[in-house]
Amino acid sequence: MRFRILTLFADFFPSPLGSSLIAKAIARGLITVDVRNIRDHATGAHHVADDAPYGGGQGMVLKVEPVVAAIEAAAGELPAARKLLLSPRGRPFTQSVAAELAREAEIVLVCGHYEGVDERVIESDVDEELSVGDFVLTGGELGAMIVVDAVARLVPGVIDAASLEHESHTEGLLEGPQYTRPPDFEGKKVPAIPERLL
């Protein structure tokens, strides 16, 4: 599984990508995560990648030219990639969507920012918009990392297959309470197993 993340803030990613199961999956060659800066595709001395909304209004919008150039560069290296824009108005990201994406070989994640991305990018250069929840973040970086984490753990070999069989959301339900030792902690005891389950 190959991920490409297109962002204005590439320095966000080293810590989460260098931790836990994601870092182990990268080290084992099960996944690759390549982070590229959209500003590298902006022109001018300052590599400005945003502009005021056409016709006026609050905030800034990611410019069409650098975002399209970044997506095209990614598509040139990952020709089979599914191209997704992280956006509050996108399709809700769920466990079933993660499972669907885990069947892809290549995924490009475009991190939205500010008031959004020029609509022409959405109309012709991404396959779909994806939302990680009904709230607004400062940018798509956290959303992209959520997608990478949820999808990568479903890639064969990242997690023991048996561990994935009965976890939360796998069958539309949540897991029940979990306990470990000691069986009695400050008077709070692990419940007895009901006879019907023995």
Q: What is the CATH number of the domain that holds 10?
A: 3.40.1280.10
Per the structure, the count of domains in the chain is 1
Residue 184 placed within a domain = no
Please indicate, yes or no, if residue 179 is contained in any of the structural domains: no
Percent residues over pLDDT 70 in the chain: 91
Residue 197 lies in a domain: no
Would you say residue 169 has pLDDT above 90? no
User: Of 53-62, 106-115, 142-151, 174-183, which has the strongest mean pLDDT?
Assistant: 142-151
Tell whether the model's pLDDT for residue 139 goes beyond 90: yes
What is the rounded distance in angstroms from the CA atom of residue 49 to the CA atom of residue 76? 21
pLDDT of residue 175: 66
**Range name among 9-23, 40-54, 80-94 with the lowest pLDDT average:** 40-54
**pLDDT score recorded for residue 160:** 73
Whether 176 is in a domain gets the answer no
Contact of 106 with 4, CB cutoff 8 Å: yes
With cut-offs at 50, 70 and 90, classify the pLDDT of residue 174: low
Taking the model in full, what pTM does it have? 0.86
pLDDT at 162 (0 to 100): 56
188: in domain:
no
Residue type, 108: V
Both tokens of residue 162? 């048996």
Residue 126 lies in a domain: yes
Q: State the pLDDT at residue 72.
A: 97
Q: Domain span at residue 78?
A: 2-163
The answer to the question of residue 26 being in a domain is: yes
3-state secondary structure of 16: helix
In whole angstroms, give the CA distance from residue 24 to residue 188.
Answer: 36
| pLDDT tens, residue by residue, 23-60 | 999 999 999 999 999 999 998 888 999 888 888 888 88
Q: Is residue 189 one of the residues assigned to a domain?
A: no
Report which of 119, 73, 51, 92 is spatially closest to residue 83, judged by C-alpha positions.
73
